[in-house]
């Protein structure tokens, strides 16, 4: 039953509950898919085959007794290797953690286990989540299932590739600069970045064990799936207050308004002035706006008043420099690696765009951080959030590109990317359309909307109001009926 691996997680859960198929059968189907395809994708870096089989057997026995563990009873999933999993190796792609076996699950992992999910293994990623590709010094690079000569994105490339290739029904990930959204776009799957601090990050690296809790802003926990309903279920399970993270507010999930497409007021933009996008992505955005308008939605081209990407990028970079100064380990290997990446961003790509995205300008914050400077950046961020909140009040959602390009061919970390003859700095090409919403904290979901002439996926970023994820997902579902669809790559 190879078709099992491309059914949605909620369909599998229902079939298992109805005894149409057993958890053991579903788990074996995924393990067979992994055995067949993972060697060319490198999406899963640590497979927990024996425990997955044992857990599936227990799931079936529990159902036979009339027990239901929850919404994902018996459904196989994977976990990005950045989240601690009790008794299962967790490395974050970082050499000093190559043998690290956590004693406790990350909060989100524990919540998914409690809902009945079966963890197949851990998905491969960028080293310490520090690149828009998924390469590290422990495992082979992750390849895109649509074309293995192309990257699956980063830092959660293994997550997106596993879901797209039918190696997992859904995957849990994190996002501080686009780590969910860009791989979802590159691999043609659905991905959610929730509101800042909506979901606990307890048990997540790159704050390696023993480091202080520094990543308190801009980082979120999200998920990948092959349907928006799966995203909604997963989000509902992992969101909410956590005793391990007192800064996660006890805010209940919102209730969707139930608006139909014809009731929606939709803003859209096909590119920032400073960072033009690939022509096929721009054309796809324009087609989307036209289709939605024809279906009766109010669709208007719009950009936040006084939006200046340079200002946004500078503020994000300063905050990131402050928090990473203490969150990242300072061993010789990591320092050398960090300076190599900074050198590439400062020397590769179009000069004007390089000046816009040059992270080396934040060396003062890295080398000589001050408490006053840190608080000043947080105050500036508060103002930006308030500005964004006010501007988005008039709209139900805002549609934007996810990145300036579709998936690109493998290359050294942070190397420049060619966009129709113009070399773009790596960070700008991949983060210009995602980073503003990490800075503002607004939720965003990516849905697949088509493919390029080279059969590479194109995703659409849908941005919603803070703390209104359920409304955002409901609106995304309305849009998805018109413009979205998941297709799995041929050969899988």
pLDDT digits (tens, 9 = 90+) for 291-310: 999 999 999 999 999 899 99
Catalytic residue list contains 351: no
Does pLDDT of 323 surpass 90? no
Average pLDDT over residues 388-395: 97
Q: Is there a single domain that holds both residue 306 and residue 192?
A: no
In a domain, 262, yes or no: no
Mean pLDDT of 15-25: 98
Range of the domain at 57: 4-238
Regarding whether 131 and 38 lie in a shared domain, the answer is yes
Q: Do 232 and 289 belong to one domain?
A: no
Look at residues 238, 255, 284 and tell me which one is the last residue of a structural domain. Answer: 238
pLDDT tens digit string along 243-294? 999 999 999 999 999 999 999 999 999 999 999 999 999 999 999 999 999 9
Q: 3-state DSSP call for residue 148? A: strand
In a domain, 491, yes or no: no
Q: Please say which residue of 220, 238, 256 terminates a domain.
A: 238
Evaluate whether residue 284 is within a structural domain: yes
Q: 265-268 and 298-301: which strand pairing?
A: parallel
- Whether residue 317 sits in one domain with residue 191: no
Is 245 contained in some domain?
no
Close Cβ partners of 39 (under 8 Å, ≥ 6 residues apart): none
- Is 392 a residue whose pLDDT tops 60? yes
> Number of folded domains in the chain?
2
Which residue of the set 8, 22, 134, 155 is catalytic?
Answer: 155
| pLDDT one-digit tens code per residue, 213-251 | 888 999 999 999 999 999 999 999 999 999 999 999 999
CA 37 to chain centre: 22
- The CATH number of the domain where 49 resides is what? 3.90.1300.10
Is residue 109 in some structural domain?
A: yes
Query: Is residue 257 in some structural domain?
Result: no
Active-site pick, 179, 200, 227, 440: 179
Task: Give me 345's structure tokens.
Answer: 């961003």
SS3 186: helix
Same domain, 364 and 478: yes
- Of 16 and 333, the one with more pLDDT: 16
- Entry field: residues in the chain: 492
pLDDT tens by residue, 342-364: 677 778 888 888 877 666 677 77
pLDDT reported for residue 85: 98
- Comparing CA positions, the residue from 432, 433, 440 lying closest to residue 465 is 440
180 and 305 fall within a common domain: no
Distance CA 134, CA 439 (A): 23
Query: Do 300 and 418 belong together in one domain?
Result: yes
pLDDT value, residue 33: 98
DSSP per residue, 388-440: HHHHHTT-SEEEE-S-SSS--B--STT--EEETTEEEPHHHHHHTTTHHHHHH
Does the pLDDT value for residue 104 go beyond 80? yes
pTM higher than 0.95 for the full model? yes
- Which of 217, 215, 209, 156 is CA-nearest to residue 187? 156
Tell me whether residue 174 is exposed, middle or buried, using C-beta atoms within 10 angstroms of its C-beta: 0 to 12, 13 to 18, 19 or more.
Answer: buried
Q: Which helix (H) or strand (E) holds 15?
A: helix 9-17
- What are the residues facing 301 on neighbouring strands? 268
Residue at 218 is within a domain? yes
Same domain, yes or no: 10 and 135 = yes
Number of other CB atoms surrounding residue 415 within 10 Å: 17
Q: What pLDDT is attached to residue 230?
A: 98
Residues 173 and 306 in one domain: no
Q: Which of 80, 122, 193, 465 is catalytic?
A: 80
Q: Are the beta carbons of 396 and 259 closer than 8 angstroms? A: yes
pLDDT-wise least confident of 166-170, 365-369, 439-443: 365-369
60 and 164 share one domain: yes
CB atoms within 10 A of CB 7: 21
Average pLDDT, the chain: 94
Structure tokens at 265: 């007021």
Task: Classify the C-alpha dihedral 424-427-430-432 as positive or negative.
Answer: negative
| Domain co-membership, 317 together with 384 | yes
Determine the pLDDT at residue 126: 97
The pair of structure tokens assigned to 300 is 């208007």
Higher confidence at residue 11 or residue 336? 11
358 neighbors 318 (Cβ within 8 angstroms): no
Q: How far is CA 155 from the centre of its chain?
A: 8
Rg of the Cα atoms in the chain? 21
Instruction: Examine the pLDDT at 123 and tell me if it is beyond 50.
Output: yes
Q: What pLDDT, in 10s, does the model give residues 419-467?
A: 999 999 999 999 999 999 999 999 999 999 999 999 999 999 999 999 9
What's the rounded Cα separation, in Å, for the pair 434 and 36?
34
What is d(CA 34, CA 42) in angstroms, rounded to the nearest whole number?
Answer: 10
Q: Measured in Å, how far apart are the chain's first and last C-alpha atoms?
A: 13
Q: Are residues 207 and 283 in the same domain?
A: no
pLDDT exceeds cutoff 60 at 1:
no
Dihedral (CA of 173, 319, 94, 177) sign: positive
Which residues lie closer than 8 Å to 15 by C-beta, 6 or more apart?
7, 21, 26
Domain contains 467: yes
């Amino acid at each position: 039953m190879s078709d099992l691996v491309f059914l949605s997680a909620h369909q599998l859960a229902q079939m298992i509950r109805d005894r149409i198929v057993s958890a053991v059968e579903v788990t074996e189907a995924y393990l067979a898919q992994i055995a067949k395809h993972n060697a060319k994708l490198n999406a899963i870096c640590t497979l927990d085959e024996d425990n997955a089989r044992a857990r599936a057997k227990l799931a079936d026995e529990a159902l036979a007794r009339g027990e239901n563990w929850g919404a994902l009873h018996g459904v196989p999933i994977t976990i990005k290797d950045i989240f601690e999993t009790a008794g299962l190796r967790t490395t974050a792609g970082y050499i000093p953690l190559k043998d690290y076996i956590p004693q406790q699950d990350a909060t989100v992992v524990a919540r998914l286990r409690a809902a009945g999910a079966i963890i197949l293994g851990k998905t491969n990623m960028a080293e310490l989540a520090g690149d828009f590709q998924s390469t590290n010094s422990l495992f082979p690079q992750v390849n895109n299932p649509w074309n293995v000569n192309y990257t699956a994105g980063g830092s959660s490339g293994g997550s997106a590739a596993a879901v797209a290739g039918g190696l997992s029904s859904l995957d849990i990930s994190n996002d501080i600069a686009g780590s969910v959204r860009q791989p979802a776009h590159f691999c043609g799957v659905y991905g959610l970045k929730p509101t800042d601090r909506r979901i606990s990050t307890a048990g997540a690296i790159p704050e390696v064990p023993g480091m202080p809790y520094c990543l308190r802003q801009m980082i979120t926990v999200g998920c990948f799936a092959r349907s928006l309903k799966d995203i909604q279920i997963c989000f509902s399970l992992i969101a909410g207050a956590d005793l391990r993270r007192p800064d996660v507010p006890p805010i209940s999930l919102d209730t969707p308004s139930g608006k139909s497409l014809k009731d929606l007021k939709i803003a859209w933009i096909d590119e920032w002035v400073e960072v033009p996008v690939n022509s096929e992505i721009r054309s796809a955005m324009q087609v989307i706006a036209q289709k939605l308008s024809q279906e009766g939605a109010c669709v208007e081209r719009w950009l936040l008043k006084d939006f200046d990407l340079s200002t946004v990028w500078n503020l994000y970079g300063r905050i990131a420099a402050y928090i990473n100064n203490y969150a990242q380990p300072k061993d010789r290997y990591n320092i050398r690696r960090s300076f190599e990446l900074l050198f590439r961003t400062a020397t590769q790509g179009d000069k004007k765009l390089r000046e816009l995205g040059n992270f080396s300008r934040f060396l003062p914050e890295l080398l000589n951080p001050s408490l006053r400077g840190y608080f000043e950046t947080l105050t500036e961020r508060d103002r930006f959030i308030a500005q964004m909140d006010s501007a988005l009040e008039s709209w139900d959602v805002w549609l934007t590109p996810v990145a300036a390009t579709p998936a690109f061919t493998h290359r050294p970390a942070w190397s420049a990317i060619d966009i129709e003859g113009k070399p773009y700095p790596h960070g700008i090409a991949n983060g210009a359309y995602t980073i503003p919403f990490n800075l503002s904290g607004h939720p965003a979901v990516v849905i697949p909307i088509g493919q390029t002439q080279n059969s590479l996926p194109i995703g659409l970023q849908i941005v919603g109001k803070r703390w209104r994820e359920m409304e955002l997902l409901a609106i995304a579902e309305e849009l998805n009926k018109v413009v979205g669809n998941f297709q799995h790559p041929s050969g899988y």
